[in-house]
Structure 1
Amino acid sequence: MRRKFPFIPILIFALVFFCINGYAVSALTPVIPTYLLSWLWVFPAVLLALFTHSILKLSTNGQTIVFKISAHVLLVYFVSLLVFVIAELLTDGYRLILGTATYFGNGNFIYPERPLAAVYLGVLLSAVIIIAFVYGIVKGKYAYRVIRHTLYFDDLPDAFEGFKLVQISDVHAGSLKNPKAVQRGIDLINRQQADLFVFTGDLVNNKAEEIKPYIAHFSQIKAPFGQFSVLGNHDYGDYVKWDSEAVKSENLDQLKKYHAEIGFRLLLDEHVELEKKGQKITLAGIENWGLGFGERGDLEKALQGSAKNEFKILLSHDPSHWEAQVKNHPSKIHLTLAGHTHGMQFGIEAFGLKWSPVQFRYKHWAGIKKENHRFLNVNRGFGFIGFSGRVGIWPEITVIELKKK
């Protein structure tokens, strides 16, 4: 079945795009030769035309190289353009509202011209954005970071004092194109010497076969208490067309086999007990449950047979599940580990600032959250999808140490 062409969204985007572009051209007029200004109309028009044409081909050809290049260039151009326009709007707002106007009679006021320094500053900011995106596409998507948390609990069993776990999420193997870089990430995981390793979903983009080139890499991950995993929304193959439901089901069965081949114990609405020195904690995992992304998981089934107040860790791909069911569940779940958001692969986490557009969709999108004496950690993801890069939100390897309060 042919996909419906998103005519209205593209039309709205084009109108907004060219309005912003027109404002930018007017601001650049004093500092750029006329013949170059014309290219500031031609370039975005050609770029948008290529992107629109490639969308028409998606249903038959999938994501062509033209689509990938035009989408990425369009994204970088639009964001840098937007930054420039915001800088000029702030300048114009200041000179029109607070600037001193000259009155020439008959109700005519002449406001001071936009300072050229403001235009050059806008150009500089746009250049910084372009450089950041280029770095994110070339290097940033494999710039793995180790993020450490120490969490304290009143009721942690004494034997698990100092217990250390490593979490990664959202590998999206179909997007990975640099095995050497991925190996650096695997080596970094193993260097943490964790007691327990967990993976919180989205091993692939759509098809099980995507992980095959990387099975040897991820099978190197070992931890004394085991390696455990759950499924994410992309693992079910919901975002591609299949010849039949049977073929789609076979793909999921094959992906489950690949989890086992890697050495991951896949938890499907179930739990296991981790024992140390005669004491235990419960590790549960559910199938994907996410608002708008399939509510497959059954938390009650996963917890069946566990005691209400025993120490529990839950693997659940989508953080919206924690908000909807976990944080106030009658059976106390001390720590939930999620992923899914990727931090939208774009944002700012520096100098005390933490911002990403994804925050308009998810209440908690990265790092640790505590509520009702329970913790949630949202991993920023190991891989990437859609935008082939990361800017400001780097691929994450989480290390969590459990401590007795």
Structure 2
Amino acid sequence: MFLPILVVVVLLDIYVFKAINSLPLGQNQAIWFTVYWATVILTLLGISAFFRNVRIGKSQMKPSTNLLFGLAFSLIIAKLFYSMFLLGEDVFRLMMYSAELIFRDGHVTFSSRSSYLSWVGIGFSAIPFLGMSYGVLAGKYRYTTRTEKLKFKHLPKAFDGFKIVQFSDAHLGSFDSLKGLRKGLSAILEAKPDVILFTGDMVNNVSTEAQPYIEEFKVLKAKYGQFSILGNHDYGDYVRWPSPENKATNLANLKRIQSEMGFEMLHNRHVMLEKDGEKICIAGVENWGKPPFPQLGDLKAALNGVSSEMFTVLMSHDPSHWDLQVKQHPKKVDITLSGHTHGMQFGIDLPFFKWSPVKWKYPKWAGLYEDAGKYLYVNRGFGFIGFPGRAGVWPEITVIELGRV
């Protein structure tokens, strides 16, 4: 994987450098070239550091590695944006050259690049670079609390005003700041939850990533409990284990760690929350997603014994599950809480306009969705993975406030 990416990055750098080399830089040429090749070296160092961690199976990222790779990734994206300008102009130049060859007699020359467009492209590419660099330095710990007030006719009166606080996709192996983590945990408590629900992906790959944070997570307390499920990353499927027994031990350790943190895990089962003699159901399934993701969730088992009239909240890590199984299930699930997408940690997330590349794979990628009185909420994620930052799509704590119509 490292070599193909390295080849692509080198070819991209050569293409971009040829464009910069054609600009009228005058006396500043040496400065421009020095800065450019410094970005090339930084990019190569960042990619190498990241893949070295992956190769040796290191489960916890260092702050220096996250910073180096984050800036390298930001530079790659900026150069890709710039190359889009260059490629568009190159295609136009090629078309004009071809037309002149066909329709014009005499000597035909291939037109040079427009300096104006090249400068515009540089300015345009600075926008994603600055945005993603901010995401690496600060955006990944810019926690946002989002509140949705949902009303139902059949909600028990005792649960009117009941607060469900959800967070998802912690990916603790990526964290590089204890202060940043504590900021997020404090935001969960500040929401004054009646119940706390974690919807999967506590780690990137292995249970040891979560071990250092047991005491930190013990601060999470809610009157009606803390419940969790597993996400696709929690099963250890992305690691080469010496034996199936080692993999099973890793999963058992993660379950133990989450229990020590204070979570009750719901593996294809449910619990009843009782308040003033009335009840609602909180159910949880193991990961169920489109292939190649595991389909271990058993909705039938999770809802076994739950009456059709019972108000039910389901935790299911992958939002694909809602469209493909949950909505069609004979037992109506009033609210499904998911995560998984992270909003790709990159995009535009405004009240009046939302966009992220992840929407091409997951049409329901962030926020609230409704169909025939059934709701899905997709949490944007608490942590980060891969790109060590967030740009435009900030880490989220979700508050679902229940009400009666």
Q: Normalising by structure 1, what TM-score?
A: 0.85
The CA deviation string for residues 32-59 of structure 1, in whole angstroms up to 9 with x for no partner, is 6544565547854884598479748854
Q: Which residue of 1 aligns with 2:332?
A: 332
The CA deviation string for residues 259-318 of structure 1, in whole angstroms up to 9 with x for no partner, is 111111110100011122222111100111111221111111101111124211000111
Q: Name the stretch that deviates more: 310-319 or 238-247.
A: 238-247
Task: Tell me if the contact between 2:69 and 2:388 (Cα under 8 Å) persists in the aligned partners.
Answer: no
Task: Tell me if the contact between 1:104 and 1:110 (Cα under 8 Å) persists in the aligned partners.
Answer: no
Task: Tell me if the contact between 2:166 and 2:197 (Cα under 8 Å) persists in the aligned partners.
Answer: yes
The CA deviation string for residues 309-331 of structure 1, in whole angstroms up to 9 with x for no partner, is 42110001111111211122221
Task: Tell me if the contact between 1:23 and 1:85 (Cα under 8 Å) persists in the aligned partners.
Answer: no
Where do 1:25-104 residues align within 5 Å? Answer: 25=20, 29-31=23-25, 33-35=28-30, 40=36, 44=40, 47-48=43-44, 51=47, 55=51, 58-60=54-56, 62=58, 71-86=69-84
Distance 1:61 1:219 in 2: 28
Q: Which residue of 1 aligns with 2:185?
A: 186
Q: Which residue of 1 aligns with 2:283?
A: 284
Where do 1:352-363 residues align within 5 Å? Answer: 352-363=352-363
Once the two structures are TM-superposed, the CA of residue 228 in structure 1 deviates from its matched residue by 0.7
Q: Which residue of 2 aligns with 1:382?
A: 382
Q: Which residue of 2 aligns with 1:310?
A: 310
Q: Which residue identity lines up with residue 263 of structure 1 in the other structure?
A: G
Q: Which residue of 1 aligns with 2:146?
A: 147
Identity across matched positions, percent: 41
Once the two structures are TM-superposed, the CA of residue 197 in structure 1 deviates from its matched residue by 0.9
Once the two structures are TM-superposed, the CA of residue 90 in structure 1 deviates from its matched residue by 7.0
Inter-CA distance 113–297: structure 2 relative to 1 (3 Å threshold): closer
Distance 1:402 1:54 in 2: 43
Inter-CA distance 58–143: structure 2 relative to 1 (3 Å threshold): closer
Distance 1:279 1:403 in 2: 15
Q: Which residue of 2 aligns with 1:242?
A: 241
Q: Name the stretch that deviates more: 179-188 or 63-72.
A: 63-72
3-state SS in 1 of match to 2:196? strand
Task: Tell me if the contact between 1:29 and 1:37 (Cα under 8 Å) persists in the aligned partners.
Answer: no
Task: Tell me if the contact between 1:20 and 1:82 (Cα under 8 Å) persists in the aligned partners.
Answer: no
3-state SS in 2 of match to 1:136? helix
Once the two structures are TM-superposed, the CA of residue 372 in structure 1 deviates from its matched residue by 2.8
Distance 2:50 2:336 in 1: 40
3-state SS in 2 of match to 1:131? helix
Distance 1:139 1:72 in 2: 12
Q: Which residue of 2 aligns with 1:13?
A: 8
Distance 1:153 1:78 in 2: 48
Task: Tell me if the contact between 1:347 and 1:357 (Cα under 8 Å) persists in the aligned partners.
Answer: yes
Distance 1:243 1:371 in 2: 45
3-state SS in 2 of match to 1:307? coil
Q: Which residue of 2 aligns with 1:394?
A: 394
Q: Which residue identity lines up with residue 377 of structure 1 in the other structure?
A: Y
The CA deviation string for residues 71-111 of structure 1, in whole angstroms up to 9 with x for no partner, is 434421121123334456678899999xxxxx999697999
Count of aligned pairs:
396
Task: Tell me if the contact between 1:24 and 1:85 (Cα under 8 Å) persists in the aligned partners.
Answer: no
The CA deviation string for residues 17-39 of structure 1, in whole angstroms up to 9 with x for no partner, is 2575257436x613465445655
Once the two structures are TM-superposed, the CA of residue 61 in structure 1 deviates from its matched residue by 6.2
Q: Which residue of 1 aligns with 2:404?
A: 404
Q: Name the stretch that deviates more: 58-67 or 171-180.
A: 58-67
1:368 and 2:368 aligned:
yes
Q: Which runs of 5+ in 2 are unaligned?
A: 96-102
Q: Which residue of 2 aligns with 1:175?
A: 174
Q: Which residue of 1 aligns with 2:100?
A: none
Distance 1:349 1:23 in 2: 35
Q: Which residue identity lines up with residue 317 of structure 2 in the other structure?
A: H
Q: Which residue of 2 aligns with 1:100?
A: none
Distance 1:140 1:54 in 2: 20
Once the two structures are TM-superposed, the CA of residue 221 in structure 1 deviates from its matched residue by 1.0
Distance 1:167 1:253 in 2: 24
Q: Which runs of 5+ in 1 are unaligned?
A: 98-102
3-state SS in 2 of match to 1:391? coil
Q: Which residue identity lines up with residue 278 of structure 1 in the other structure?
A: G
Q: Name the stretch that deviates more: 388-397 or 344-353.
A: 344-353
Inter-CA distance 378–16: structure 2 relative to 1 (3 Å threshold): farther
Q: Which residue identity lines up with residue 244 of structure 2 in the other structure?
A: E
3-state SS in 1 of match to 2:135? helix
The CA deviation string for residues 370-401 of structure 1, in whole angstroms up to 9 with x for no partner, is 11321111111111111111111111000111
Once the two structures are TM-superposed, the CA of residue 332 in structure 1 deviates from its matched residue by 0.6
The CA deviation string for residues 115-140 of structure 1, in whole angstroms up to 9 with x for no partner, is 63x54443333333222222211111
1:217 and 2:211 aligned:
no
Q: Which residue of 1 aligns with 2:99?
A: none
Q: Which residue of 1 aligns with 2:228?
A: 229
Task: Tell me if the contact between 2:161 and 2:403 (Cα under 8 Å) persists in the aligned partners.
Answer: yes
Q: Normalising by structure 2, what TM-score?
A: 0.85
